[in-house]
Structure 1
């Protein structure tokens, strides 16, 4: 049964990427309904994978909603079945296992011209790719309003699905378990960066080999996790110099933390590029709330701190309460620090540069011994 929460409207919130321009005014106080749909009735995940398994497959994950309930092992786990689209090169077999990349979508969901396009590109280069459908796994279809979808699923859920997909691919005979990378866009980029934290690996990986490389496409940098140790994998970020949703100083601080915590760090900035350069719609300034000026700091027990305020959340909260806590956090950010807008949209030149960079780092970290 679908649950509904009445929440103050916050517009097209930029913990991630918006799809279309949305004009926002601080004085607007209209209410909106946040839908919390049931999880879909997907087929049961396969217990045993064969070397020719490809296409639409399903794997088990869970829905913590945020770090508070990921860190608390006694919190409800919400078992979740996730769809993954596996693009397997024709030459992949048990005798010839290939590297792979797990792809996490942005807050605009899986898109033909981004996640799917990159999966096909990697497949054509002899690398398997799995596109993870995290929104759909939680019943958050495109028919549900954007705000409802983003409030109902955080980048922590994306990260949890990433590790679930990693364990899933470890069972595939045609995939090299030691050569699986993680690629995320915007919202998914935030999850890709978080997944390199050794705490997340220890909580979610169940001992399988860690990701061989983390590649972050323009993931906003306003979350500070206080990472003290990474898995040791390389972290590569690819961003645009005209993307105001990626604050250069904050991104540099996040990169320095990861480097000090044990990971090689490469930061690529594409001159003149905005946000989501793969999108079909015209490149333009999007007047929407932008979290880049904020800094959310993760406390040791998984709470978010904004300035002097800790977003206190019950350790045993149910799904509806977790989403309410997220709404309050984003509302506080809107009032205290968010700015309005950034450039995004179709940019073939930047997209071409980004593709070349991606293939370079995939070859460097996944296709060489």
Structure 2
């Protein structure tokens, strides 16, 4: 693992609860829960804080990082980050308020490039530590689904970023310049978040298949959230799965996928795919399928590495991070 400044392990973070104003008295112990995403006011000196956003009666923690020495460029572009199956926190402990080294490194990259980071914890508010055991199988995994739950988290984080202001009333984030980045299960969630619901065939039934059994909306499967009027500028997909348990229809590798897989993205996607990963075949098929449909996709393939290579201290990881940042800068109008 790449080294990281020890100072980040000692952060004492202010916490903003419930998606209300920063000076609200609302706390985790309150019986009342406001389901509306509201304006948040932060000090100009705020750099790292944890906010809570409401998603389907769940408080979803978001680690918010605001870079310093970038005031002249404000309002700033932002990136919403979705973690993988292992969760977001160091030692699986959200109470520590310390992200794992992977996300602390990405936070530093965003800081150095004048990007606001919004790291979304989709698990702890729903009682999960990591996607293992019961959280891998239906119907329990529907509660943290990368197809129809985590996409809602991402959209809520995007909406909240647009409602964060400094005390002088100026916005922290440029509303049109918000990107998305996800790893593994979070990469799968990037795909789902960027699905263009305007292209859903009439009469399509949303189902998923697990262990030979099909589940539908009566058993917990949900339809996607409607495409936002102002969505993400684009997303980066690192080594996730692309089948969706048949959520989008046939496998993207199926010979009839052009007709039977309905997935289409509304914003550009950058695929970061390692050769040594069992999930890569499906993702390569999806990237090719989307290109055939005329959608905006870009594909980078990394030889000699496997699943999770972003956390490896090697040239492929560094190259992928550089390409990711350059791609984000382009879609976020930073060039």
* TM-score normalised by L of structure 1: 0.59
Aligned length: 241
Q: 1:149 to 1:119 in 2, by over 3 A?
A: farther
* TM-score normalised by L of structure 2: 0.65
Partner residue in 2 for 1:49: 40
Counterpart pick for 2:163 among 162, 167, 171: 171
**Gaps (5+ residues) in structure 2?**
1-15, 21-37, 90-99, 165-170, 201-223, 249-260
Q: For each residue in 1:78-120, what CA deviation from the matched residue of structure 2 results, as whole angstroms up to 9, or x when unmatched? A: x211000011112456982000000000001115222332122
Distance 1:201 1:86 in 2: 33
Partner residue in 1 for 2:81: 103
Q: Could you list the runs of 4 or more consecutive aligned residues of structure 1 that deviate by over 6 angstroms after TM superposition? A: none
Q: Contact 1:107–1:150 (CA<8 Å) still a contact in 2?
A: no
Distance 1:58 1:93 in 2: 25
Q: 1:55 to 1:140 in 2, by over 3 A?
A: same
Distance 1:354 1:206 in 2: 28
Q: Contact 1:60–1:82 (CA<8 Å) still a contact in 2?
A: yes
Q: 1:207 to 1:354 in 2, by over 3 A?
A: closer
Partner residue in 2 for 1:239: 273
Counterpart pick for 2:152 among 157, 160, 163: 160
Partner residue in 1 for 2:60: 82
Query: Is 1:263 matched up with 2:241?
Result: no
- Considering Cα pairs closer than 8 Å and 6+ residues apart, tell me whether 1 or 2 has the greater RCO: 1
Map 1:280-359 to 2 at 5 A. 346-359=312-325
Q: Contact 2:86–2:129 (CA<8 Å) still a contact in 1?
A: no
| Aligned-pair CA distance for 1:150 | 3.6
Distance 1:227 1:116 in 2: 36
Q: Contact 2:187–2:238 (CA<8 Å) still a contact in 1?
A: yes
Distance 2:331 2:273 in 1: 19
**Gaps (5+ residues) in structure 1?**
1-41, 63-78, 280-345
| Aligned-pair CA distance for 1:136 | 0.7
